[in-house]
Amino acid sequence: MSKISKTQAILTAKCPNCREGDLFEGSKMSFKNLTSINHSCPVCNANLMPEPDFYYGAMYISYAFSVALVITALVALNVLIEKPELWMYLTSVVVANIILLPLMLRYSKVLYLYLASKLKYRGY
Ligand SMILES: [Zn+2]
């Protein structure tokens, strides 16, 4: 029986049903399979693809991540540098976006699955 919390399950991208099976096929470092989700959980066989194109809704969460990133970069620049120039804003946002893009893409899907699917924890 799995004893990990919902937060841990989300952070480690585990199945909402059993909190043991991995949601993603490939590792975080694999760019080929970066965001491809298993069709069913490898441990409990729960359906992780409730309907075709289910994960299109994840782009709303991805958008929220991007907005949060831009605001964080702008605030950080204003705190760290006295009078930041426009190119500094643009560069920091682009660089932060490139670095964090794999994480934002993955966790937008994980959060969307946890928020929008009907899968509930059963604790096998
Ligand atoms: Zn599972």
Could you tell me which residues are beta bridge partners of residue 14? 22
Q: From ligand 1's centre to the CA of 39, what distance in Å?
A: 11
Distance from the alpha carbon of residue 36 to the mean position of ligand 1, in angstroms? 16
Report the alpha-carbon distance of residue 42 to residue 30 in Å, rounded.
19
Ligand 1 centroid distance, CA of 68 (Å): 30
Query: Three-state DSSP class for 44?
Result: coil
71 Cβ contact list (under 8 Å, min separation 6):
none
Q: How far is the CA of 119 from the centre of ligand 1 (A)?
A: 9
Structure tokens at 99: 């670095």
Count structural domains, the chain.
1
120, pLDDT greater than 90: no
pLDDT of residue 27: 75
- Is residue 123 one of the residues assigned to a domain? no
Within a domain: 1:
no
Q: How far apart are CA 27 and CA 5, in angstroms?
A: 22
**Domain span holding position 78:** 6-116
**C-alpha of residue 18 to centroid of ligand 1, in Å:** 4
Lowest mean pLDDT across 22-31, 66-75, 113-122? 22-31
Q: Give yes or no for residue 11 having a pLDDT over 80.
A: yes
Question: Could you report the per-residue pLDDT of 56-106, keeping only the tens digit for each?
Answer: 999 999 999 999 999 999 999 999 998 889 999 999 999 999 999 989 999
Distance 102 CA to ligand 1 centre (A): 23
